[in-house]
Amino acid sequence: MILNNILFFLAAIQGAYCWGDLGHRTVAYLAANYLTDDASQFVNTLLENDQGFDISDGALWADSVKRRRGYTQTAEWHYIDAQDDPPRTCGVIYKRDCKAGPGCVVSAITNMTSRVNDGDLDTNQQKEALMFILHFIGDIHQPLHTEMLDRGGNEIKVCFDSHCGEKVNLHGIWDKDILYKHRGLKPSVSDHTILKEAAAQWAAELKSSNEARGMVTTAECSNINTAQKCALAWATESNGWICKYVLQPSVDWIEQNDLGGDYFNGAVTIVDDLIGKAGLRLGAWLNALAAARSTGEKFVVQNSERVEV
Ligand code: ADE
Ligand code: ZN
Ligand code: ZN
């Protein structure tokens, strides 16, 4: 009981979990659907998937280490705090919004892209770089991970299906509650087998809807030598939803209305679009990484300093 309280307290102060298990696992399984044989082999070998640790487990790892000794500097790599003025104006400006020292999700994607194929690093460092990529390409597609206002909405207390109070905030419902309700899961579900099954099913549906929309990996930004440009374009697209939907009704309205009704209904389409794009783009990225790996091609990181882990 005491232990439960301590764990609850720790969960409460640490705030949100990024897309949450369901979102990250779905992005990973969707990406797996797009992989070339080379890329599939590269990912499974580096992750040591023969031990039952699959691509979706790899995508969760970054959240599990962000408070661990030696990894605390990675906590800021999960988002970029755009200092825009929503819902009036949105926009991400790299120099303004990506903190020079710690970096942000855009610089983290760039750095980890350069590390994963770096033959001077040991296998475990390459594996960690891959797991960061699996996670951050998910996070960058969560609109509130590209917004500074109220710490990405973490400080905006809301009600969702009559659950209100300290624990329920705008960031958290976009990370988790909207997704779980959309996929028919109770918020209390934490069993990994159930979540993996739900994620695989959602990924299969998103693969079909991507196909129906003519969305293919080859049309996505996948030049790993211009990682920063690609990541900035993804962040900008994601941030655009802040003004178009997430904060569009105003913070006051959001605080005063239950978001489990019409707000939820409108959000579902956006979440499907963003998770669908994140999986497609992650797939394209891993294919490009695998192709460069097999040619032994090295590349130079542009406009970004590498951060050692
Ligand atoms: N902490 C500060 N800003 C944040 C954001 N936009 N998303 C998640 N965590 C944050
Ligand atoms: Zn994250
Ligand atoms: Zn989050």
Task: Look at residue 1 in the predicted model and tell me its pLDDT.
Answer: 32
Q: How far is the CA of 285 from the centre of ligand 3 (A)?
A: 22
Task: Name residues contacting ligand 1 (CB within 6 A).
Answer: 78-79, 81, 144-145, 147, 151-152
Task: Look at residue 278 in the predicted model and tell me its pLDDT.
Answer: 98
Task: Look at residue 82 in the predicted model and tell me its pLDDT.
Answer: 98
Structure tokens at 244: 């178009």
197: confidence class by pLDDT, cuts 50, 70, 90:
very high
- What is d(CA 187, CA 165) in angstroms, rounded to the nearest whole number? 15
List, in order of start, the domains of the chain with CATH numbers.
20-295 (1.10.575.10)
pLDDT over 90 at 156, yes or no: yes
Enumerate residues with CB within 5 Å of ligand 3 (an ion). 16, 18, 175
Task: Look at residue 10 in the predicted model and tell me its pLDDT.
Answer: 40
Task: Look at residue 166 in the predicted model and tell me its pLDDT.
Answer: 86
Q: What is the pLDDT of residues 41-84, one digit of tens each?
A: 999 999 998 788 999 999 999 999 999 999 999 999 999 999 99
Q: What is the pLDDT of residues 231-246, one digit of tens each?
A: 999 999 999 999 999 9
Q: Which protein residue's CA is at the shortest distance from atom 6 of ligand 1?
A: 152
In this structure, which ligand is nearest to the CA of 84?
1
- Average pLDDT for residues 162-188, to the nearest whole number? 96
| Least confident interval from 92-96, 125-129, 302-306 | 302-306
Q: How far is the CA of 295 from the centre of ligand 1 (A)?
A: 37
- Average pLDDT for residues 185-205, to the nearest whole number? 97
Task: Look at residue 296 in the predicted model and tell me its pLDDT.
Answer: 67
- Average pLDDT for residues 269-286, to the nearest whole number? 98
- Average pLDDT for residues 85-105, to the nearest whole number? 97
pLDDT over 90 at 305, yes or no: no
Task: Look at residue 42 in the predicted model and tell me its pLDDT.
Answer: 97
